[in-house]
Structure 1
């Protein structure tokens, strides 16, 4: 990726955290953290990776709430970041945190078993 694409992705990540936390008032959206943003080279599309604190139903409800507010969020990004065209946004779960937690618990389990 080019420097510009990386800068836009980082700026979007920063702004999205603020927008979701302060501006979006949907009660379905729980504790959401923006973990990463991937922007295509032509700056037309952006995939926003989120992590949600809670169980699967909380995750699904938060994703539905974010998808409902997608137009508002995109408009806010357009106001805050000066681009010719604001990228279309898509939300996706970031499974790396859950994966890392699972690996850590397995390593702890193996470590405990080897001590016995």
Structure 2
């Protein structure tokens, strides 16, 4: 039976452990500014997917990815010592696609703002086709009936 709450707690704890101690475990000056964005643990608590981002250019991302892959055993040992459960999950380090999707969203939002500005500029000189208020009001109907 899978305990999803326990898996979420362990995933959260793994994220905290790796994020707090990454610089102490991986003692490599070429390691870039790495942020642990998410950790997902399988229901049987055997495997953990660790998602991370690296601040910097593509060369920095590649270098940091290689360094992290070389040190995945150290990370797993450290997590196992600090986690306090019988079996330590295997760690799979996955670069997070967050920066790419965020830049795509920025482009979409920029285009939407430009389109909104164009529509606002076009609407500023526009006038109503049937006058300000083309609908009859009940009070006007009563006055028209009274005049007849």
Q: TM-score, normalising length from structure 2?
A: 0.72
Residue 60 of structure 1: CA displacement? Answer: 1.2
CA 1:21–1:109: 2 relative to 1, 3 Å: farther
Residue 33 of structure 1: CA displacement? Answer: 0.3
The one of 12, 19, 22 equivalent to 1:20 is: 22
RMSD of equivalent CA atoms: 1.6
Residue 101 of structure 1: CA displacement? Answer: 2.8
Unaligned runs of 5+ in 2: 119-148
Unaligned runs of 5+ in 1: none
Structure 1 residue ranges (4+ consecutive) displaced by more than 3 angstroms after TM superposition: none
Q: Which has the larger radius of gyration?
A: 2
Question: Is the Cα–Cα contact under 8 Å of residues 19 and 73 in structure 1 kept in the other structure?
Answer: no
Separation in 2, partners of 1:20, 1:65: 12
* Secondary structure at the counterpart of residue 62 of structure 2: helix
Separation in 2, partners of 1:48, 1:19: 14
Aligned partner of 2:47 in structure 1 is: 45
* Residues 1-116 of structure 1 aligned to structure 2 (within 5 Å): 2-116=4-118
* Secondary structure at the counterpart of residue 32 of structure 2: coil
Structure having greater relative contact order (Cα 8 Å, sep ≥ 6): 1
Separation in 2, partners of 1:112, 1:18: 42
- Tell me the matched-pair count: 116
* Secondary structure at the counterpart of residue 69 of structure 2: helix
* Secondary structure at the counterpart of residue 83 of structure 1: coil
- Deviates most, 67-76 or 101-110: 101-110
Q: TM-score, normalising length from structure 1?
A: 0.90
